[in-house]
Amino acid sequence: MATRKIINKQLGELLIERNIINQQQLDKALVAQKERSGLLGEVLVDLGFAKEEDIAQALTAQYGFPYLPLSNYEINPEIINIVPARVARQFMLVPIDKIGNNLTLAMSNPLNIQAVEDIELLSGCNVQTFVSTSSDIKRAIAKYYKDKE
């Protein structure tokens, strides 16, 4: 597992520093997050306080995961077959490349260690993760898995 530079700041702090949200918006989002659970980034997007790209780029800065917009990315069908459709949907991820024994995934939540471990067991590969937006991943799943399951 590669070591990553981790910035010890909360996502909300990073978004405030980047002038994406203000403290009042963060406070509202934290209350909403407690009420309905879910990831803070998703709550901020749902409330219209931030764009998905802002969240993905903040995660990139926070944890050192590279950001990969999927809109112009063409994925080989053989790579798609490595991860079953139900697993891709469950964990909101899509396999994007495989070199040797290394499988690269685009994930909306790259901190989901359970997902990474499951994919490693399922594929027999070492997994490397990129951050993508939920919308990009949903579109990729719809496009590449439409004939599967």
At 97, list the tokens.
């490349």
Model confidence band, residue 149 (pLDDT cutoffs 50, 70, 90): low
At 75, list the tokens.
């994925």
pLDDT above 90 for 127 = yes
| The pLDDT of residue 65 | 86
Helix axes 52-63, 134-144, angle to 10 degrees: 100
Q: Cα–Cα distance between 15 and 20 in angstroms, integer?
A: 5
What is the DSSP secondary-structure string of the chain? --------S-HHHHHHHTTSS-HHHHHHHHHHHHHH-S-HHHHHHHTTSS-HHHHHHHHHHHH-PPB---TT----HHHHTTS-HHHHHHHTEEEEEEETTEEEEEES-TT-HHHHHHHHHHHSSEEEEEE--HHHHHHHHHHHSTT--
Q: Cα–Cα distance between 97 and 44 in angstroms, integer?
A: 30
pTM higher than 0.75, yes or no?
yes
Comparing 86 with 149, the larger pLDDT belongs to: 86
Question: What average pLDDT does this structure show over 17-34?
Answer: 93
In order of start, what are the domains of the chain with their CATH numbers? 11-51 (no CATH), 77-144 (3.30.300.160)
